[in-house]
A and B are shown apart, each in its own frame.
Chain A
């Protein structure tokens, strides 16, 4: 995992600079050079180098110590190694006092530099891994963790940030895999409830009665198996935020209960007669179009208006393809650490195949695709071949049923897809479709399907 760490070598003598840089490049690092302190400071402002080798004696009014101090102001996490031709205890002490991590005298033993760099990189890798794990463990995501430069996405994030500190109910709409929970957690963690609990409930995962007792809790003896009183998710989230995922799947009865909680911030436990009052902020998410569900009578309009106080609509990945390069690199960097692989980038061709793909599973699918490619990749960058499975699944995924299609159109599509899969074998296709061969022939003729 060397490739993620970039090194800057600063020396006024070109031959020194270049020879050290070349030697480090052979070791697999990405290395830049600067011929003066000023140039180094400018470069440090543009790029986050992990390690700096800085020569102590440099002309032009900015020596190594001064350069180091300037860089440390911008990049407090950087490791700085001071190089000098003449070792004196005084300069060594000054350098270390000002924050140099190491101090080497040139010419330096190759083994010494090699050990030094690998030791620093080891620590940096551990620090990075630690922060990734910590984040995973606590899931303390903030807006900064949402990777996007897409203009629509930025609007979404600005809106979410603006409402973070309010108690207003938020409805997050977006396809599956677009990061609805991530946005919900970011809203929670950026608001004044950040120190309070964030409780996530998936409304689709549980049957109606189970979800009811899950959300509102139950009293002892409320039903068989209710051996003791249990607090529900609304109570657990008291003071904090409750995240109702897949809220479009809530049953009509529960919709009524939920409406009451939203109106009164009060509810009864299952089998209970005592009213429980809570201070909970509700963030609901759904991958189905709730407006449409309301129009179709599947979702109560009064609940919809209660939930839809602030609407956050996350665009699907195919509508913000400009984020794909950035997201892909973000996942590569993180997964390289998790998988222990020295992969730092992806080729032009690979990026093209990512951009060509439609991403029905959105960002989550992209993340999984990159993980799959990285597991099998043996090179230092992901190539087009590593994503060959995408084009295969694109061919298979062409069979989608968009709303607004007639049954006949759908039938034609299904027959075409089945024939494709059986490579035109009528007998096999008829078996798969569960119809007679003669019926299949008739339909092929009627729909004018080319074979």
Chain B
């Protein structure tokens, strides 16, 4: 350790015992060294004062929140819609949502709706339109509503190129897209409690269904002429 280093080590309290005592005596007997010690103490104090301003300033919120994120503010309506839209995509979860209205029964490892007029059936892990819904989706036009239990809403081509149609029936509304010769269900949303045929006739689309349409549609919904042409081409 050089003489300078020893002096500063003493100044910083790094020396102890005999070494510290020796340096202290040296500084006390040397006015230049004593003055230097004083100058450096003042410099250290000044550095502390200047940079302590930073330590004493309020800490930016984003730094605290990086360590401890604030409790997330939940937008219940958005959360519900997002949850239901996700559920709509997932056949198994979708069935859970439907259980209240469709009353499911289990038969030898597979399950089918026991409710006779259920609009859907399960096959190979996917949900398809049952005969009555299949018939309505294939033959009905929104521009020429039929008197049957199913009412067709929008028809459009989705981002995979398949033709999709929204529908409303007595107890639910949903989205079905053409898969080969069948209509595969991509979403089915139960009617609100206590609403039956009135629901079918209601003009407004279920918000969950609207979210699903918005997330899958490519381009605009078909107009009456496009809808009719698509029907003529066998919904291809």
Do the two chains bind? no
* Chain B residues in the interface with A (C-beta under 8 A): none
